[in-house]
Amino acid sequence: MPSAYKRILLKLSGEALMGDDKYGINRNVVEHIVVEIAEACQFGVEVAIVVGGGNIFRGMKSAGDGMDRVTADYMGMLATIMNALALQDAMRRKGLISRVQSALRIDQVVEPYIRNKAIRYLEEGKVVIFAAGTGNPFFTTDTAAALRGMEINADVVLKATKVDGIYSSDPKINSNATRYHHLSFDEAIIENLQVMDATALTLCRDQKLPINVFSIFKSGALMRILMGEDEGTLVSNG
C-alpha cells in the first residue's frame, strides 16, 4: 500500500528530545525517534525535519532571565543547531544519510539553507534537517516548520509531541478528555488550541498545507499516519 504522503516536514520540539529529563538530550529518545524516521524513509517517503531548541535553552533559563529578547532568540537558534547535529549523528549510526541546513551561517559546522539543494537532497533519499528556525528573532520554530514545509512543497507538516493529538482539555488532568480526530484551521485558531503558534497556523491555512499533531513516543504512530490511518489530530481546510 503506497504512503498517503510523498514528502513530509516533521516538526520536532526540543522538549521531545528530552524524554523525562529536565533538559538536555536523552540519547534513548533520540534513537527511538531515528528508528521511526528510518521506517518512513524505507517506505519511500522523503523526510525533512525542523527541530526546536527548548530542551537545551531550558537548561540556561536562569542565566537567560531578563535577557534581551533578540539575544535570547539567537541563543535559541544556536540550540536548534546543537539538536540538529545530535540527530544527524544518531542517523549516521543508524545508517541514514542526512544533511543539516542552517538559517544562520556556520559553514564549518553545517550547510547554509539553500532551497533547491534541500529539494535535491530529498529527491536523493537523504533526510534534511533544518536548523536555526527562520534565522530571524521573534519567529518560532513552528513558523519555520510552516515556512520550510511550503518551500520544499511538503504534503503535510507532522508536529511530533508527547501527546497523541489535540484534546478537548488536558488529558493528564481530565481522564474524560476526548481527542479531536479532525479540526479546521479556523477552529484551531478561534479556540486557541495551541496546535502551533498563530503565524504558523495562518501560513498553513492560506497555503492549504495540512498539519497532523501526534505523539512521536507512540511506536509506529508515524507509519500509521503515512498509511492514512486515524492517528493524532489532522488540522486542515477541509
Phi, psi of 93 (to 5 degrees): -70, -25
Rounded mean pLDDT, 221-226:
96
* Degrees to nearest 5, angle at CA 159 with 158 and 165: 105
CA distance 130 to 84: 7
pLDDT at 18 over 70: yes
Asked if residue 161 belongs to a known ligand binding site, the reply is: yes
Q: Which residue has the cell 485558531?
A: 189
Mean pLDDT across the chain: 90
Cell of 54: 527548548
Asked if residue 140 belongs to a known ligand binding site, the reply is: yes
- Residue 179 pLDDT level (bands cut at 50, 70, 90): confident
Supply the pLDDT for residue 67: 81
CA distance 70 to 111: 23
Asked if residue 73 belongs to a known ligand binding site, the reply is: yes
Asked if residue 135 belongs to a known ligand binding site, the reply is: yes
pLDDT at 223 over 90: yes
- Residue 133 pLDDT level (bands cut at 50, 70, 90): very high
Domains (range + CATH), the chain: 7-236 (3.40.1160.10)
pLDDT at 52 over 80: yes
Asked if residue 54 belongs to a known ligand binding site, the reply is: yes
Report the SS3 class of residue 98.
strand
Asked if residue 214 belongs to a known ligand binding site, the reply is: no
- Comparing 94 with 168, which gets the higher pLDDT? 94
- Residue 87 pLDDT level (bands cut at 50, 70, 90): very high
CA distance 21 to 52: 16
